[in-house]
Amino acid sequence: MAPFIDFVLNAAAEFAPDMQAQWRQAAQWLVQRKFAALDANAQVALVEQMAASGQHPGHEYFRLMKEMTVHAFYSSRVGLVDALEYKGLAYLTEFPGCTHPEHQQV
């Protein structure tokens, strides 16, 4: 995922410089908290805190990174073909909808 995100951010220089600014702010926020120097458990704890509350000062940065990671995954072969079973130039004659029981209408 990191090479894709790096590519997108590099390309953003011309078309979306505000995206680069957001990522710089996120990186600076993590640097100020010495994220790289934390042990793995402390890193996980901080990310969980960032994710859990919209009130956490790092929540906006967590959301930014999560959205780009999800975009990168579902833009990859593994995400698009393996996970979503994209078949290429095919179409459905009808949409079957979600088959998860918790999403079925009563």
Burial of 76 (0-12, 13-18, 19+ CB in 10 A): middle
34's torsion region: left (phi>0), alpha (psi -120 to 50) or beta? Answer: left
Beta strands in the chain (DSSP E): none
Instruction: Kindly tell me if the per-residue pLDDT of 1 is higher than 80.
Output: no
- Tell me what pLDDT residue 106 has: 59
pLDDT tens for each residue of 16-25: 889 999 999 9
pLDDT tens for each residue of 83-106: 888 888 887 788 777 788 887 775
How many other β-carbons are positioned within 10 Å of the β-carbon of residue 45? Answer: 12
Identify whether the C-beta of residue 100 lies closer than 8 Å to the C-beta of residue 28: no
pLDDT tens for each residue of 42-62: 999 999 999 998 899 999 999
